[in-house]
């Protein structure tokens, strides 16, 4: 926490060069941003300009930037360790990790941001169901690879302390505090009071709180009194230094536009759209809905206009709208897949930081989540974030979603590209959650997971629907999992195509 002797002091206005002068080798830094939104790229570049500063520990929601941000720091050998929820598509950083150049501690997104928030608010740690019964609690996540390029794991994560709280087994997550925070806001006054644009609040607020010294990079600096206190997102009491960067880097990781099809007709009857059409029938008016990447993103196209849903993204947008037209693209309006989207104002949209957004998830305010899968077991175990021996990306916020108590619907091809089944007796890949799946929609069939009141291990699969032209024998031949057949087995119904 901040030293009490510093209260009432205004932050110091400094240059980029001056801002990080006292960041020395071995320092720890919490850095704001998720994807490219809210990332203080210029401050991170100043660190890169000091190659003698090494052995840094970076805490960040996602490892953002190949040619700027995290990538250059990793390539320069300045990083000792990172703590993150998602490495994603940052091949530069991932290559350094796989080559044994640094240690990576993966942590569920909601737990990570809450650990920072706890560190900044005097809480030493907390218990959560997120990650219980997975590699997070059991300590089986690769954290460092051998430097010889062999891909051999030389360090795994340590098992977490667990405890039964109110009848549920939980994982203990220790708080995080850092020497410095590098954050970015859209507008601030000279007292450090901040206003963020769009989803740029993400990890910025929690990072600021957790640090001993918070360095704010801001696009627009105004005098005290010019900001309406009703619309200040973060009070300046957390800020120690301000750097005014009026023309900061604006990058978009996944630019997706509504008109990208170039006029090509959408095939509403291909496998992925048929799965989305079936899934749309599960959506009810008034739901708060979370959609994962890939096929689930097509579901909104088949929800009737009369059915109003609030689509949430864990990076801080409650009320996700369609992909933007070319003139609507905004680098600070993104979904959790870091794709450009719009804001659906008709449902009462709002922006949140990641503490609030992931708190909504853990608190049970999301009614339904639809996502893809690598593997699903016959008892509803889900694996969808890591395949041993392959490039790791991270679990993001998926573990919070599946263990929040919301209804979980999986949309996935029935088999892998090599023809091997994805519906198994037991998952072989590391789990996202145990017994968490409620329904599975594949290109061949639909299964319900019948929940046991005794134990998730006793859950079972019930085949309820078959795709047009698919036989029961074909499904049996392509499914390793044991399942029962509903006496009311029927053809898969599909939502109407909305023109």
Residue 142 lies in a domain: no
- Do 450 and 411 belong to one domain? yes
Residue 6 lies in a domain: no
- Do 186 and 299 belong to one domain? no
- Do 284 and 237 belong to one domain? no
pLDDT at 336 (0 to 100): 87
Say how many C-beta atoms besides its own lie within 10 A of residue 67's C-beta.
Answer: 9
pLDDT at 389 (0 to 100): 77
Residue 139 lies in a domain: no
- Do 227 and 287 belong to one domain? no
- Do 310 and 357 belong to one domain? yes
- Do 462 and 395 belong to one domain? yes
User: Nearest CA to 371 among 287, 273, 270, 289?
Assistant: 289
Structural domains in the chain (count): 2
pLDDT at 387 (0 to 100): 82
Residue 258 lies in a domain: no
Residue 168 lies in a domain: no
DSSP 272: H
- Do 233 and 374 belong to one domain? no
With contact defined as beta carbons under 8 Å apart, do 117 and 160 qualify?
A: no
Q: Using DSSP, state whether 399 is helix, strand or coil.
A: helix
Beta strands in 190-329 (DSSP E): 194-195, 211-222, 241-244, 288-291, 310-313, 317-318
User: Nearest CA to 439 among 496, 370, 364, 489?
Assistant: 370
Residue 129 lies in a domain: no
454 burial type by CB count under 10 A (0-12 exposed, 13-18 middle, 19+ buried): exposed
Q: Angle, to 10 degrees, between the axis of helix 354-362 and the axis of helix 109-120?
A: 120
Report the alpha-carbon distance of residue 392 to residue 266 in Å, rounded.
Answer: 32
Bridge partners for 156 per DSSP: 142
Report the alpha-carbon distance of residue 105 to residue 143 in Å, rounded.
Answer: 6
b/e code 263-287 from CB counts within 10 Å (16+ = b): eeeeebeeebbbbbbbbbbbbeeeb
DSSP 198: G
CATH number at residue 367: 3.40.1080.10
User: Nearest CA to 83 among 176, 206, 216?
Assistant: 176
User: Nearest CA to 63 among 42, 92, 28?
Assistant: 92
Say how many C-beta atoms besides its own lie within 10 A of residue 103's C-beta.
Answer: 17
Q: What are phi and psi of 408, to 5 degrees?
A: -110, 120
With contact defined as beta carbons under 8 Å apart, do 393 and 385 qualify?
A: yes
Residue 259 lies in a domain: no
- Do 75 and 211 belong to one domain? yes
Residue 260 lies in a domain: no
Report the alpha-carbon distance of residue 46 to residue 64 in Å, rounded.
Answer: 16
Q: Would you give per-residue pLDDT tens digits along the chain (499 residues)? A: 455 445 557 899 999 999 999 999 999 999 999 999 999 999 999 999 999 999 999 999 999 899 999 999 999 999 999 999 999 889 999 999 999 999 999 999 999 999 999 999 999 999 999 999 999 999 999 999 999 989 899 999 999 999 999 999 999 999 999 999 999 999 999 999 999 999 999 999 999 999 999 999 999 999 999 999 999 999 999 999 999 999 999 999 988 888 655 555 789 999 999 999 999 999 999 999 999 888 998 998 899 989 999 999 999 999 999 889 999 999 999 998 888 999 999 999 999 999 999 999 999 999 999 999 999 999 999 999 988 778 888 999 999 999 999 999 999 999 999 999 999 999 999 999 999 999 999 999 999 999 999 999 999 999 999 999 999 999 999 999 999 999 999 999 999 998 7
Query: Which domain covers residue 111, as residue numbers?
Result: 12-124+175-244
- Do 297 and 353 belong to one domain? yes
- Do 198 and 316 belong to one domain? no
Report the alpha-carbon distance of residue 212 to residue 181 in Å, rounded.
Answer: 8
- Do 286 and 390 belong to one domain? yes
Last residue of a domain, one of 225, 244, 263: 244
- Do 228 and 310 belong to one domain? no
Can you give the pTM of this predicted structure? 0.94
Strand pairing report for 103-106 and 375-377: unpaired
């Amino acid at each position: 926490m901040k030293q009490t002797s510093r209260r009432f002091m205004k932050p110091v206005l400094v240059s980029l060069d001056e801002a990080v002068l006292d960041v020395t080798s071995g320092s720890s830094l919490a850095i704001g941003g998720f994807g490219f939104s809210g990332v203080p790229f210029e401050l991170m570049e100043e660190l890169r300009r000091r190659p003698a500063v090494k052995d840094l520990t970076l805490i960040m929601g996602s490892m953002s930037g190949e040619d700027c941000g995290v990538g250059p720091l990793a390539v320069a050998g300045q990083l000792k360790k990172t703590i993150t929820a998602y490495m994603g598509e940052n091949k530069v950083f991932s290559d350094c990790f796989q080559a044994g150049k640094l240690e990576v501690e993966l942590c569920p997104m909601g737990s990570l941001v809450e650990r920072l928030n706890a560190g900044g608010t005097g809480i030493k740690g907390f218990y959560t169901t997120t990650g219980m019964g997975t590699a997070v609690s059991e300590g089986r996540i690769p954290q460092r690879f051998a430097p010889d390029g062999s891909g051999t794991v030389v360090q795994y994560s340590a098992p977490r302390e667990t405890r039964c709280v109110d009848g549920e087994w939980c994982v203990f997550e220790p708080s995080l505090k850092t020497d410095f925070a590098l954050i970015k806001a859209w507008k601030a006054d000279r007292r450090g009071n901040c206003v963020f644009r769009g989803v740029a609040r993400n990890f910025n607020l929690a990072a600021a709180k957790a640090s001993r010294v918070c360095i704010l990079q801001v696009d627009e600096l105004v005098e005290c009194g010019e900001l309406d206190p009703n619309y200040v997102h973060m009070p300046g009491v957390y800020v120690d230094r301000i750097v005014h960067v009026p023309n900061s880097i604006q990058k978009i990781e996944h630019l997706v536009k509504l008109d990208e099809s170039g006029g090509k007709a959408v095939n509403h009857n291909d496998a992925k759209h048929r799965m989305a059409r079936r899934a749309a029938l599960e959506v009810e008016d008034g739901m708060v809905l979370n959609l994962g990447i890939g096929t689930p993103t097509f579901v909104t196209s088949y929800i009737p206009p009369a059915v109003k849903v609030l689509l949430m993204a864990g990076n801080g947008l409650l009320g996700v709208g369609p992909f933007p037209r070319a003139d609507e693209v905004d680098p600070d309006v993104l979904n959790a897949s870091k794709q450009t989207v719009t804001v659906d104002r008709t449902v009462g949209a709002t922006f949140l930081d990641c503490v609030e957004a992931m708190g909504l998830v853990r608190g049970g305010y999301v009614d339904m989540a639809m996502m893809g899968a690598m593997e699903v077991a016959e008892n509803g175990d889900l694996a969808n974030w890591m395949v041993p021996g392959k490039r790791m990306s991270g679990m993001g916020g998926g573990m919070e979603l599946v263990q929040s108590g919301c209804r979980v619907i999986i949309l996935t091809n029935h088999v892998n590209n090599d023809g091997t089944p994805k519906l198994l007796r037991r998952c072989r890949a590391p789990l996202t959650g145990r017994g968490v799946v409620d329904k599975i929609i594949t290109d061949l069939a639909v299964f319900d997971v019948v929940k046991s009141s005794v134990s998730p291990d006793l859950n079972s699969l019930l085949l309820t629907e078959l795709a047009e032209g698919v036989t029961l024998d074909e499904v049996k031949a392509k499914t390793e999992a044991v399942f029962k057949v509903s006496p009311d087995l029927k053809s898969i119904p599909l939502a109407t195509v909305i023109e």
